Amino acid sequence: MQTTEDSLPDDLKTLLALWRMQAGTRRFPSRESFDGRTLMPWAGRLHLIEMLEDGDFYFHRFSPISAARLGLDMTGQRLSATVLDERATMTTSGYRRCLSLARPVCDQIAATFGDGRHHTPYDRLMLPLGSNDRPNFLLVGLWFHPADIPPDNHKARI
């Protein structure tokens, strides 16, 4: 579900403010505008993703918190290497939307899939990065809401 910047958790609002500062007068900042030290406050909850020429997505960095929750680290892998299910479709549509708009996109991923499976709900802030007029990288900040997991679901996952 798409949300507004106002509804983002403060932590992601701060990341968005940093992105805007790095962009300056450009539509979006370059990937090189960010380094590990600058992004340290969000280190556990960031993906750095490149959109490849063939339309697939490549994880240069996969959020360690996501990796722990999934039991799978996608760093250095293509998104197409995952099991293509409802989550991958939700994921790629958000990524493609952000890159085509070339502006920040935020959404909230609900706790239940259509088939009744549960996962940890989270807010997602997708920030385009690139050079010239075409973004080809995404910096994705995540904010998990484990308190919203149904109490009967002890194996919730994202």
On whether residue 130 sits in a domain, the answer given is yes
On whether residue 158 sits in a domain, the answer given is no
On whether residue 11 sits in a domain, the answer given is yes
Positive or negative, the CA dihedral 142, 143, 147, 150 is negative
Query: Mean pLDDT over residues 96-124, rounded?
Result: 78
Q: Is the pLDDT of residue 152 over 50?
A: no
On whether residue 81 sits in a domain, the answer given is yes
Total domains in the chain come to: 1
Q: Is the pLDDT of residue 143 over 60?
A: yes
Question: Quick one: pLDDT at residue 157?
Answer: 37
Query: Mean pLDDT over residues 123-145, rounded?
Result: 91
How far apart, in whole angstroms, are the C-alpha atoms of residue 116 and residue 97?
Answer: 26
Q: Which of 46, 35, 30 is nearest to 136 (CA)?
A: 30
Question: Quick one: pLDDT at residue 150?
Answer: 45
Partners of 51 in the β-ladder: 57
On whether residue 91 sits in a domain, the answer given is yes
Question: Quick one: pLDDT at residue 84?
Answer: 52
Q: Is the pLDDT of residue 83 over 70?
A: no
On whether residue 120 sits in a domain, the answer given is yes
DSSP state of 5: G
Q: Is the pLDDT of residue 115 over 90?
A: no
Q: Is the pLDDT of residue 151 over 60?
A: no
Q: What is the mean pLDDT of the chain?
A: 82
Question: Quick one: pLDDT at residue 114?
Answer: 56
Cα 154 off chain centre by? 24
CATH code assigned at 104: 3.30.450.20
Question: Quick one: pLDDT at residue 32?
Answer: 93
How far apart, in whole angstroms, are the C-alpha atoms of residue 113 and residue 89?
Answer: 12
Interacting residues of 130 by C-beta distance below 8 A, sequence separation 6+? 28, 30, 31, 136, 137
On whether residue 113 sits in a domain, the answer given is yes
Query: Mean pLDDT over residues 5-12, rounded?
Result: 86
On whether residue 24 sits in a domain, the answer given is no
Question: Which amino acid does the sequence have at 137?
Answer: F
CB atoms within 10 A of CB 12: 22
Question: Quick one: pLDDT at residue 29?
Answer: 96
- The domain in which residue 57 lies consists of 5-16+42-148
Phi, psi angles (nearest 5°) of residue 63: -50, 125
Per-residue pLDDT tens digits for 11-58:
999 999 999 999 999 999 999 999 889 999 998 899 999 999 999 999
